[in-house]
Amino acid sequence: MRIHGTDVGQRSETVRRANLSAIVRGLHEHGPMSRSELVAATGLTRSAIRGLVGELAGAGLVTEAPAVRLGTPGRPSPMVRLNPHGATVLAIEILVDSIAAAIVGLGGETLAEIRVDRPRGHLSVDSVVADLAGLTRELQASVHDPLIGIGVAVAGVVRRSDGLVSMAPNLGWVDVPLGAHLARALGTTIPIAVANDADLGVLAEHRRGAAVGVDDVLYVSGEVGVGGGAITGGVPLTGVAGYGGEIGHMPANPDGVACRCGSTGCWETEVGEGALLTLAGLPSDAGRDGVEAVLRDAEAGSPAAVAALHHVGRWLGIGLAGLVNLLNPRLVVLGAMHGRIYPFVRATIEAEIATRALPAPRAIVRIVPASLGADAPLLGAAELAFEPLLADPASRVGARDGAIHLATA
């Protein structure tokens, strides 16, 4: 029998691990801090902080700037900052119309990034993986820091344990073992974590964007499909296998149209890009430019464009009302297309929520557009890849100079 919980069998070593984690995570999320600020933030003593920071510095994960005079009395405290070159991750994003790769340093600094637009349509897994391997080689030519993990954002339903893409309707993928494919193409044994793009988008907005400091966040991102991610109590809502957050395929309109997923009346069919474009009289694959056209037409007074926006806004409000009732978030972040159209549909959304959400959660929630733009899933992928290090920096401490590189083959 195994007792089940977060803190089973703690020992003194665990304490050090946890304290190192608190320091590294604090610096990663809040940026550089002085040693005395670390003392205040963690509640540890100066002696303890000194020892822990010293250990991290010895491992190359942090650097200490000599001092900084800031006009207050007392001896100035040296600034501690994470060393972006002490540990890096490779972040990869696979969207319907573009792929991207970046190398991100500890602390969140992007050291190198490449994005390549691709034509929409069903893309073979092999060609995408090959292209990503090419991008990665380019990035690796300019950055030579130790790589500790790889994070992948993909617009599909992903099993976290092994990176199986169960379904990515907009890519035409079914049961693709993406994690294994990438490992082979990159010739590496570095851990690869694959996740849904919206799940990573909310992670990025939570760490670096519009939801910093907010522990209960719902993120809705309308691309070709409609993705969603949630953070509840500060913890990403993944579900048992990582499939969680698929709000685009919640039944919304029983009389609705067929969805790519095989069901009918999914929320995505009412609030997705295709719905907006079709209702506005444009081809459903007009893409981002089409959306911009709809917005211009609406400003110019086009009835079809206004009606299309109203339709999407109304269904957005209906769906959000239910999600607000279910998840009781502090903040709803609208990403991608939904962030773009938000100024145009704000009143419609709010009217529906005022009607359909319960008074109590409704009074708490705020709706804001995303602040990170198209890079959110990419940054989230980096955060995902950093997570093991943040949770246990001790695993790297002592493993000094463990510069791992991808095979150049």
Q: Would you tell me which residues interact with DNA (CB under 7 A)?
A: 9-13, 15-16, 19, 34-36, 39, 43-52, 67, 69, 71-78
Binding-site partner at residue 361 among a copy of itself, DNA, none, CB < 5 to 8 Å by type: a copy of itself
Quote the CA–CA distance of 212 and 218 in Å, as a whole number. 13
Binding-site partner at residue 67 among a copy of itself, DNA, none, CB < 5 to 8 Å by type: DNA
Binding segment (CB under 8 A) for a copy of itself, from list 18-26, 141-149, 286-294, 341-349: 18-26
Binding segment (CB under 8 A) for a copy of itself, from list 132-140, 230-238, 279-287, 375-383: 230-238
- Do 346 and 334 meet the contact criterion of CB atoms below 8 Å apart? no
By CB under 8 A, name the one of 181, 208, 249, 338 that touches a copy of itself.
249
By CB under 8 A, name the one of 121, 187, 234, 402 that touches a copy of itself.
234
By CB under 8 A, name the one of 117, 355, 400, 405 that touches a copy of itself.
355
CA dihedral 32, 35, 36, 40 (to 10 degrees): 70
Residue 346 burial (10 A CB sphere; 0-12, 13-18, 19+): middle
The number of residues making up the chain comes to: 409
> Phi and psi for 151 in degrees, rounded to 5?
-120, 140
Quote the CA–CA distance of 300 and 312 in Å, as a whole number. 18
Residue 376 burial (10 A CB sphere; 0-12, 13-18, 19+): buried
Q: CB of residue 75 vs DNA: minimum separation in angstroms? A: 3
Residue with Cβ nearer a copy of itself (131 or 215): 215
Interaction with a copy of itself in 263-292: which residues (CB under 8 A)?
A: 263-264
Q: Six-digit token pair at 239?
A: 């579900």
Residue with Cβ nearer a copy of itself (199 or 223): 199
- Do 136 and 90 meet the contact criterion of CB atoms below 8 Å apart? yes
User: CB under 8 Å to 213, separation ≥6 — which residues?
Assistant: none
Binding-site partner at residue 35 among DNA, a copy of itself, none, CB < 5 to 8 Å by type: DNA
Binding-site partner at residue 74 among a copy of itself, DNA, none, CB < 5 to 8 Å by type: DNA
Binding segment (CB under 8 A) for a copy of itself, from list 52-60, 97-105, 325-333, 395-403: 325-333
Q: CB of residue 115 vs a copy of itself: minimum separation in angstroms? A: 28
Residue with Cβ nearer DNA (4 or 75): 75
Interaction with a copy of itself in 191-210: which residues (CB under 8 A)?
A: none
Pattern 143-182, a copy of itself, x by CB under 8 A: --------------x-x------xx---------------
At 409 the three-state DSSP class reads coil
- Do 383 and 14 meet the contact criterion of CB atoms below 8 Å apart? no
Find the angle CA(318)-CA(321)-CA(325) to the nearest 5 degrees: 145
By CB under 8 A, name the one of 187, 239, 281, 373 that touches a copy of itself.
239
Q: Which helix (H) or strand (E) holds 161?
A: none
Residue with Cβ nearer DNA (80 or 321): 80
Binding-site partner at residue 119 among DNA, a copy of itself, none, CB < 5 to 8 Å by type: none
Binding segment (CB under 8 A) for a copy of itself, from list 41-49, 70-78, 123-131, 275-283: 41-49
Which amino acid is located at 49 in the chain? Answer: I
Does residue 395 interact with a copy of itself by CB under 8 A?
no
Residue with Cβ nearer a copy of itself (115 or 314): 314
- Do 108 and 120 meet the contact criterion of CB atoms below 8 Å apart? no
| Distance set, CA 167 to CA 152, 160, 259 (Å) | 15, 13, 13
Does residue 350 interact with a copy of itself by CB under 8 A?
no
Pattern 111-150, a copy of itself, x by CB under 8 A: ----------------------------------------
Concatenating the DSSP letter of every residue in 69-106 gives --SSSSPPPPEEEE-TTTSEEEEEEE-SSEEEEEEEET
